[in-house]
């Protein structure tokens, strides 16, 4: 019988050493299993050696160890993961705000991959992928039991190359296939426009390092366009998968004068971290309606929860995703990394976001409406050759029939109506 490989001896020796140390160190108060399981470590070494000797084809030691580490970490929760050097570099590239791929935020769920949301203006968004879609195959290969990071790696590729996703969609009986061309996804995290004089929509699609500063710039531009302060704003956080905590804190801070925004709490009672607003509400206290849905996750839920608890905004829409855990990146000596769930987010009133999400103050389901006859209303100025009005109104193009906001985006339409009501109730200065 062959002697165990050097890798096996090192594993067993390290396990025995750690176990010996554990015997001398008492477990933390309230914790179970303070001593390392020597028998299981020895079993791991034996299994490693058996795989090396008897598996149908040769397997590299490092590859086996990576599988072992991933198995240990992936079993914790959907968001903890071991990142190889390549994975770590791709993650940092994605966080920079520009990356190659389809532009979808995904999570592992019940052995499949669920789309949390497609990013605004991304190839996935343009192709028609929807929040809640389940990805079953990538280029014909099953994604069952892959982690979100492993699935993302399959979906990414060189810009200009196609990838085919097989999708299960709620309410649709047959499988759907989308062949989408990968592209460089540039994330513009803040967009804004005046829906009506005095009433603005601020769309935040993700939270990056400079999102707070971009938000303040957008508010200033809209005030200039409006020739004065705004009367109210809709903060659109729908299908926002989250992002950087500091970006979420900066956005909430822009609408609050003071007080707690969010706090995190880990396993250690002393690990609580609190984030507070500084003086300066850049909207001057005017009403805000924040729109959310099931695609609003993580950092988007932090903002919605803070504005709701502090009574700074009315939250409208549907219950949010419920991703209220914090992941910390531990960079290892070889450049790989461990992404580990270390704490939970809590709203100012102490509610955990995890699995519960943010429940809106006003439920606004994503309804679609149309005129009774299924057509947009036609007015005199839509008719070819109509007479001009006394005010010199130009003749309308009969092909350019206006489409109501209620038809295009019913929740936004309702949010604007709600915002107008709140503005009317606000005391005049």
Catalytic residues: 298, 309, 323
Q: What is the rounded CA–CA span in Å between residue 130 and residue 127? A: 9
Sign of the alpha-carbon torsion through 62, 63, 64, 67 = positive
The pairing of beta strand 232-236 with beta strand 288-292: parallel
Radius of gyration over every alpha carbon of the chain, rounded to an integer in angstroms: 27
In contact, 237 and 290? CB cutoff 8 Å: yes
Q: Output the CA–CA distances (angstroms, integers) from residue 158 to 96, 118, 184, in the order listed.
A: 18, 19, 9
Q: What is the rounded CA–CA span in Å between residue 190 and residue 197? A: 20
The pairing of beta strand 183-186 with beta strand 98-101: antiparallel
Q: What are phi and psi of 258, to 5 degrees?
A: -170, 180
Which value, to the nearest 10 degrees, does the dihedral of the CA atoms of residues 119, 124, 129, 133 take?
-70
């Amino acid at each position: 019988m062959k002697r165990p490989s050097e890798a096996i001896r090192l594993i067993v020796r390290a396990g025995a050493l750690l176990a010996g140390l554990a015997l001398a160190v008492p477990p933390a108060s309230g914790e179970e299993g303070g001593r390392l399981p020597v028998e299981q470590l020895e079993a791991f070494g034996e299994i490693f050696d058996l795989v090396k000797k008897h598996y149908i084809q040769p397997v590299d030691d490092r590859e086996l160890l990576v599988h072992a580490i991933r198995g240990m970490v992936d079993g914790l929760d959907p968001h903890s993961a071991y990142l190889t050097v390549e994975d770590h570099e791709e993650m940092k590239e994605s966080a920079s705000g520009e990356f190659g791929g389809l532009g979808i935020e995904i999570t592992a769920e019940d052995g499949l991959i669920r789309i949390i949301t497609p990013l605004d203006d991304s190839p996935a968004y343009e192709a028609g992928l929807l929040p809640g879609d389940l990805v079953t195959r990538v280029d014909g290969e099953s994604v069952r039991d892959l982690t979100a990071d492993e699935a993302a790696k399959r979906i990414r590729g060189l810009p200009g190359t196609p990838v085919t996703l097989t999708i299960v969609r709620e309410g649709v009986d047959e499988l759907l296939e989308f062949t989408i061309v990968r592209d460089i996804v540039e994330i513009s995290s803040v967009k804004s426009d005046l829906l009506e004089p005095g009433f603005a929509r601020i769309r935040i699609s993700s939270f990056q390092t400079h999102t707070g500063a971009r938000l303040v710039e957008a508010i200033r531009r809209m005030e200039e366009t409006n020739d004065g302060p705004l009367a109210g704003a809709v903060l659109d956080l729908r299908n926002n998968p989250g992002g950087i905590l500091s970006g979420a804190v900066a956005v909430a801070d822009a609408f609050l004068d003071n007080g707690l925004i969010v706090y995190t709490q880990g396993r250690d009672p002393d690990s609580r971290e609190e984030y507070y607003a500084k003086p300066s509400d850049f909207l001057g206290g005017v009403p805000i309606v924040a729109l959310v849905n099931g695609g609003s996750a993580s950092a988007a839920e932090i903002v919605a929860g803070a504005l709701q608890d502090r009574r700074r905004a009315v939250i409208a829409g549907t219950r949010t995703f419920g991703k209220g855990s914090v992941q910390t990146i531990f960079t290892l000596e070889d450049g790989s990394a461990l992404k580990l769930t270390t704490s939970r987010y809590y709203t100012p009133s102490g509610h955990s976001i995890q699995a519960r999400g943010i429940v809106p103050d006003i439920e606004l389901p994503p309804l679609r409406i149309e005129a009774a006859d299924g057509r947009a209303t036609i007015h005199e100025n839509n008719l070819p050759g109509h007479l001009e009005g006394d005010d010199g109104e130009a003749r309308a193009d009969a092909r350019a029939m206006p489409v109501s906001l209620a038809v295009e985006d019913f929740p936004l339409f309702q949010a604007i109506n709600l915002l107008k009501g709140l503005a009317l109730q606000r005391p005049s200065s």
